[in-house]
Amino acid sequence: MLECALCRNESKGLLIGIEKNSYTNLGFASHDKCALDCVGFHEQEKGNCMSSKSTEQKSGQVVVPGERLGVIEEFTPDAGTFVKDGVIYAMVVGRALRDLASRHVSVYPLVHEVKVPKVGNRVVGQVSGVQSDNANVRIFQIGTKLLSGVFFGVLHVSDVHLRYVDSMFDVCKAGDIIRADVISEKNQTYHLSTKDKDLGVMYAFCSRCGGTLESKRQGMQCPRCGNIESRKTALDYGKGLV
């Protein structure tokens, strides 16, 4: 990546472009002729600086949760990021910041106090996939607050019920709306639990015709086709506000 002379002299300068011709100094060196969205990324109208194209997100570019920022072989993950399978992703909505000197990558939030799931939060999400021992959940709500970003959680069969559960296929199916508690963030993954009686599937859909299942004495029954399925439902199934 090419840098102008002023950038080389002040290689630790770090500014974030909030609006055109308006910058917020994060406490590092700055200069008049070249404003940086982040280290190595230059605005053309502020100087004759050049930057190279990359297959990853450019420094200074706005990113959303889940966007790829790089790999751990190239950068050290910092604030606002998480790592999965050796790949660094954005955790919040903000600007990707790459410090090429220290090889750190972070995301500076565009909105203060961005809402992200934390241990102890009660969340609502949609089941995106089910295996025999776990289910993947796309979290879209924390408490009563809808999220603008996308977060993913995992519900393991051992965290479904106080009693033994043999298979996740008896708990939920893809497309179901589920309420759960965040019990861990181990390995940068939101681990969920539905052991409480208020937790579990809030709305379930027939795997045959897609109709909304109704809770009956014999199980979860589809009023369209009569199909009967099994779910671990929340106490207020079909009534909870999403």
pLDDT digits (tens, 9 = 90+) for 71-122: 999 999 888 888 888 899 888 778 888 888 888 898 887 765 567 899 999 9
**What average pLDDT is seen over the chain?**
77
Least confident range of 70-79, 176-185, 188-197, 198-207: 70-79
Q: Do the first three CATH levels of 5-109 and 122-229 match, i.e. the same topology?
A: yes
Q: What is the pTM of this model?
A: 0.56
Q: What is the pLDDT of residue 150?
A: 75
How would residue 163 be classed by pLDDT, with cut points 50, 70 and 90? very high
Token pair 């008896």 is found at 170
**In this structure, what token pair is assigned to residue 25?**
């100094």
pLDDT digits (tens, 9 = 90+) for 172-186: 999 999 999 999 998
- Residue 50's identity, in one-letter code, is M
How would residue 125 be classed by pLDDT, with cut points 50, 70 and 90? very high
pLDDT top residue among 7 and 136: 136
190 with 84: CB under 8 angstroms? Answer: no
Topology (CATH) of 5-109:
OB fold (Dihydrolipoamide Acetyltransferase, E2P) (2.40.50)
Q: Where are the domains of the chain?
A: 5-109, 122-229
158 Rama sector, left if φ>0, alpha if ψ -120 to 50, beta otherwise = alpha
**In this structure, what token pair is assigned to residue 91?**
């955790």
pLDDT digits (tens, 9 = 90+) for 6-34: 343 333 333 333 333 333 333 333 333 33
**In this structure, what token pair is assigned to residue 76?**
């050290």
Distance of alpha carbon 124 from alpha carbon 179, whole angstroms: 4
Least confident range of 52-61, 75-84, 126-135, 221-230: 52-61
Least confident range of 34-48, 153-167, 221-235: 34-48
- So what CATH class is 122-229? mainly beta
Name residues whose C-beta falls within 8 Å of residue 32's C-beta, 6 or more positions apart in sequence: none
Distance of alpha carbon 201 from alpha carbon 219, whole angstroms: 13
